[in-house]
Amino acid sequence: MTQVAVSVHTLKSADSRGGGGGGHNTTPNRAAHSEERSHARSTSADREDIRPVKPNHACWKVGSMTPSLVAFFLLGISSLATAAKFTQVYQWNELDFEWPTEESRAQALKNGTFKPGNIDPHFMAVYGSRIFLSLDNTFAGIPASLVSLPTSSASSAPPKLTPVPSWDIHGKEGDCDKIEKAKGIDVDSVGRLWLLDRGSFKCNIKLWTIDLSNNDQTKLIHHFPFHSLMHDLVVDETANGTFVYISRGGLLDEEHIVVFSLERNESWIVHTPGINVFCIALSALKDQEPRQLYLGEWSSNELHSINSVATLRDGTANTELIGKLTAHPYRILVDNHGTMLAAFFSVNYISSWNTSESFAEKRFHEVDVLNSGKSFTFALDQNGTLWMTVFDIVREPKYRLLKAAVGEKSFQATPELQVATVSGEVQSRKLMNSSVFFVFLLASAIL
């Protein structure tokens, strides 16, 4: 295990407009200033995912295969791995919002503030009878980036997206007192939805809470002293208070996470040298065992852990390399029984790992072909039901909402399905190979 001694940088809860709003006596770190300079150079560096425009097609020569390989290939394309019995809840060829009036929708379409083709779900949380989604709004045309759907509907038509908590709280880029760019979301035990708002070049990153049990009462509870490049969060409720752990990594090679304390209304940086954290997950809550924090990297397949989150409250991070995943993860989640799910950039499957056992990645769910940089979002509800969206930017239906009654059984993974290549070698089915992925990554950084 690699143990890292860390110095703590406490973050000032500054006014997002650059003033000296209420906060705590801290000094923003060097990286915050370098990030602002980079953001000024190119707003496209704010983009953290890859959106491919064409699927990757293989050229198959069946005649060159042995009969056994032909049979293996045919089996592979007709069977998809799944470790849970998913049922489809809704499907859409196009998503739309619940607009105040038809006139407001027509005006938004006309002036470009609403572009249905740009709707792309990135994060999910579930509470009660509602599913919450944060929508990527790197591209124009997303009038509200935090929305909800009902878990069920009596209508034969699929539901529309409802802005959360209301249309009024969503603003244009530069509206520092409104939700600008929703990112990671999580729901705590008392029904508060925690929202990471990525802000804009003008406005710092913000942290919101929405009380789902109290008419969606909304509070802007914290301003961070930097812009952009914060992605996901998890909420840790302890006897010593409520803490939020936030991933912050990307093209600028930030190597730290951010910790926020609700009771103290303070945030601070904990460095993770050599680990550019993009996705984040908490281990299952078990008696007498410290909770771990799992870290997925932005530019690597490596999966790491911090073996006790209690150390984060003291400003230290003792990290350990768990193993290497098959691709770059953008979303990880651990269920109540300790099984991790991972979704990856530009591939058509989700993997799992039983964290109580030695690291062994297995295929959990796979679809035939997908054509999106981030194909899946998923979350667990309070009853253990797994909810998942599947997004395909090219083929219809473009959006599907699925659920699986996992419950007390946790996730039971199946071995990875494989298909034969033209040369007879065996490889995992992926939408794009690594070289194509990095071409898009480089283009994203340059544009």
CA gap 266, 260 in Å, rounded = 6
Q: What is the pLDDT of residues 115-164, one digit of tens each?
A: 999 999 999 999 999 999 999 988 899 999 999 999 999 998 999 999 99
Under a CB-based contact definition with an 8 Å cutoff, are residues 73 and 419 in contact?
A: yes
Mean pLDDT of 323-333: 96
Confidence of residue 361 (pLDDT cuts 50, 70, 90): very high
Is the model more confident about 21 or about 170?
Answer: 170
Mean pLDDT of 25-42: 36
Contacts of 85 (CB under 8 A, 6+ apart): 404, 405
pTM beyond 0.85? no
**Local structure of 154: helix, strand or coil:** coil
Is the model more confident about 23 or about 339?
Answer: 339
CA gap 282, 307 in Å, rounded = 10
Q: Is pLDDT above 90 for 68?
A: no
Q: Which residues of 43-57 are buried (b: 16+ CB within 10 A; e: fewer)?
A: eebbbbbbbbeebee
Is the model more confident about 291 or about 416?
Answer: 291
Looking at the chain, the whole-number percentage of residues with pLDDT higher than 70 is 71
Could you say which DSSP state residue 292 is in? P
Which pLDDT score, from 0 to 100, does residue 11 have?
Answer: 53
Which pLDDT score, from 0 to 100, does residue 82 have?
Answer: 58
Q: Is pLDDT above 90 for 59?
A: no
Residue 428: C-alpha distances to residues 53, 200, 259, 308 (Å): 21, 38, 37, 34
Which pLDDT score, from 0 to 100, does residue 289 have?
Answer: 85
CA gap 63, 79 in Å, rounded = 22
Mean pLDDT of 412-440: 35
Mean residue pLDDT across the chain: 78
Confidence of residue 275 (pLDDT cuts 50, 70, 90): very high
Which pLDDT score, from 0 to 100, does residue 274 have?
Answer: 92
Which pLDDT score, from 0 to 100, does residue 74 have?
Answer: 34
Which pLDDT score, from 0 to 100, does residue 428 have?
Answer: 38
Q: What is the pLDDT of residues 368-422, one digit of tens each?
A: 877 778 999 999 999 889 999 999 988 899 999 999 987 544 444 444 333 222 2
Confidence of residue 193 (pLDDT cuts 50, 70, 90): very high
CATH architecture of 9-446: 6 Propeller (2.120)
CA gap 143, 141 in Å, rounded = 6
Half-sphere exposure at residue 244, Cβ-oriented, CA atoms within 13 angstroms: 32
Q: What is the pLDDT of residues 333-344, one digit of tens each?
A: 999 889 999 999
Q: What is the DSSP string of 294-306?
A: EEEESS--EEEEE
